[in-house]
Amino acid sequence: MGKETELKKKVLFRFFSYPVSFTIIVFVILLIVFGIFTVNRSFFKYENLTAMGRLAPDLGIVALGVGTLMIAGEFDLSVASTIPVSSFVFTKLLGWGAPLIVMLFVTLFTGLLIGFFNGFLVVRTKLPSFIVTLGTMLFWRGLVYAASRMMPIGIRAWLEQGSWIEQLFIGKIGGVFPVQTLWFFFFAIFLGMLVHFHRFGNWIFVTGDNEVAARAMGINTAMVKVVCYMIVGVLCSFMGMIQNLRIESFAANQGVGYELKAIASAVVGGTSLMGGIGSIPGIFLGTLTIQIIENGLILMGAPAFGISAFIGAAIILFAVLNVSISRVTGR
Amino acid sequence: MSDNKAKGKSASSSARTVHDASLVRMVDIHKWFGKVCALRNIDFHVNHAEIVGLVGDNGAGKSTLIKILSGFYTADRGEIYYEGKKVDIANPKVAKQLGIETVYQEQALAPHVSIARNVFMGRELTKILGFMDRGRMDEESMGAITKLGLRIKDPEAMVEALSGGQRQGVAIARVLHFKAKLVVLDEPTIALSVKESQQVLDFVQQLKAEGISVIFITHNIFHVFQAAERFFILSHGEALTDVRKEDTDIDHLIDLIVSGRTEMK
């Protein structure tokens, strides 16, 4: 009997020592609450789920990258501008009649380059990345506003309905299942493998956790950070294209607020703001949690414009939880 | 000591045999920082499986000497012989390749990463495409830790959950695993409790038992006296004395360090 409780304790301790555990619990509770209390149980209705499946990957894909970078100990606020810049480049290329495959790669390359530039600035100046990427965010946003004169640019004139690029990014499998969700899963699995099972993932963790030690052991921490910034950049470009195709236009306000929402997703998923702690499953669930809170509360009839109050409260709650978990478990 | 220097300079075959006797021999080392002379005419050697205490007050030049040995600085003058061969330790990588490893307190480990991942930090064992072989990393890190006489159950536990002494043990197990021949311990007992310090001193003996030489740098004369077989005392960038444990006692050592003079000579 005593042995059994001992074992139970141990299993529980193990479970709670993973930063993702609380996110899982809260996620499940939210599903139950919204499942029961939304009007007509509309949360689990087919229409709502497919809408979520189309919309949630937007923030989700960006958050995966930003969270990975946070594990390496850096921030990227410029995601808010990498998204519209990519979308703008994509739209312009479309207007010039570039082949779709070229467009795809040039747009992704744009993100890669912006990411590289961010990373390079951060490791070279050794300034806090919060400041550096605040600067690049404003810089790119200024450029994209000037270039577009803040006017939306529709893409329908140049892109016929149902082209392969639309199928690839925003198609529906079997006419139902949104492809974006698959991309979101794909990136989560890809980054999960990289961060948790690959040698490079270990470098990400130790760079964020103790950069001096990492460097002493011969890890090129500057390279690790730059690569993480490039991952963020490419994911932003990818998401910029998805969003562009879904709303069928470039919009100057694309990406506004994503920088902080992405960080919030990572924090809700148990990622430390100091670097060195976090997990891809956590970030994955974190971004879903934030988005179902938003979605569920609206379905429950909460005033749509006041939703950010709840999101804000949730972020603080999770940040406090994370700290207290690590205190209790010694992790 | 001046005797050694003369031999080193003549570079005769007899000098070769002298060099062969020790694992590492630094001859006539000088280092200037601008106009300040940090090290002057230092002859320092460590024998195979020997524990040498490197002592001296702040600013005596201990860390400068060690940084030259581990490749962070290069000497302005002087030569280093390693296993009898003249070597040029141009950077830390060269030192590591030679088997010279430095363990710094608090700078060695990532606290929120598992023990196994810390042991293999930067040198992860991989299967294919750079994916880590976690099973082997767990196994081998536990092997090294057990060899050191440290008892830790779970290689997946975070370093943060370990005591100060255990952390030092993990850092030492790492150099043990990667076949170091000479381990430099920089203040390994600083900020440790009495019990934990004792544990670290046991690790040092274990390293010697494995045939590894140790340079033990510390301010704590009691710790170094217990651990080391020979003491090399620096004062203001010069070698004050090089004395075997049986030829001295703790009061004498303290006297030497404090006064910065040697009346014995």
Output b/e per residue, A104-135; b: 16+ Cβ within 10 A. bebbbebbbbbbebbbbbbbeeeeebeebbbe
**pLDDT of B153 above 70:** yes
Taking the CA of residue B111 and the nearest CA in chain A, the distance in Å comes to 7
d(C-alpha A116, C-alpha A120), whole Å: 6
Q: Which residue has the higher pLDDT, B253 or A143?
A: A143
Read off the pLDDT band of B243 (50, 70, 90).
confident
| Cβ atoms of residues B193 and B164 within 8 Å | yes
Give the ipTM of the model, two decimals please: 0.85
Alpha-carbon distances of A152 from A67, A92, A145, A247, A249, rounded to whole Å:
30, 12, 10, 10, 6
The residue range of the domain holding B122 is: 109-172
pLDDT 10s digits, B23-41: 999 999 999 998 888 999 9
Alpha-carbon distances of A262 from A88, A315, B5, B202, rounded to whole Å:
21, 11, 64, 48
CB contact under 8 Å between A202 and B160, yes or no, is no
- Does residue B23 lie within any of the structural domains? no
A198 closest CB neighbour out of B104, B117, B132: B132
Q: Which residues of chain A have pLDDT under 50?
A: 1, 331
Average pLDDT, chain B: 85
Beta partners for residue B102, in sequence order: B184
Q: What confidence score (pLDDT) does residue A17 get?
A: 61
pLDDT, average across residues B194-201:
88
Which is it for the CA torsion B121, B126, B131, B135, positive or negative?
negative
Tally of domains in chain B: 1
- Does residue B196 lie within any of the structural domains? no
Residues of chain B in contact with residue A212, where contact means CB-CB under 8 angstroms, are 107
- Does residue B76 lie within any of the structural domains? no
pLDDT 10s digits, B72-118: 899 999 999 999 889 999 888 889 889 999 887 667 899 999 999 99
**pLDDT of B185 above 70:** yes
Say yes or no: B97 contacts chain A, CB-CB below 8 A: no
B107 closest CB neighbour out of A197, A216, A219: A216
- Does residue B85 lie within any of the structural domains? no
| Cβ atoms of residues A114 and A78 within 8 Å | yes
- Does residue B115 lie within any of the structural domains? yes
Q: What confidence score (pLDDT) does residue B152 get?
A: 87
- Does residue B232 lie within any of the structural domains? no
CB contact under 8 Å between B160 and A216, yes or no, is no
- Does residue B143 lie within any of the structural domains? yes
Residues of chain B in contact with residue A202, where contact means CB-CB under 8 angstroms, are 113, 117, 120-121, 124, 132
- Best residue in B66, B121, B132 to probe A by mutation, most A CBs within 10 Å? B121
Q: What confidence score (pLDDT) does residue B4 get?
A: 45
- Does residue B256 lie within any of the structural domains? no
Say yes or no: A327 contacts chain B, CB-CB below 8 A: no
Average pLDDT, chain A: 90
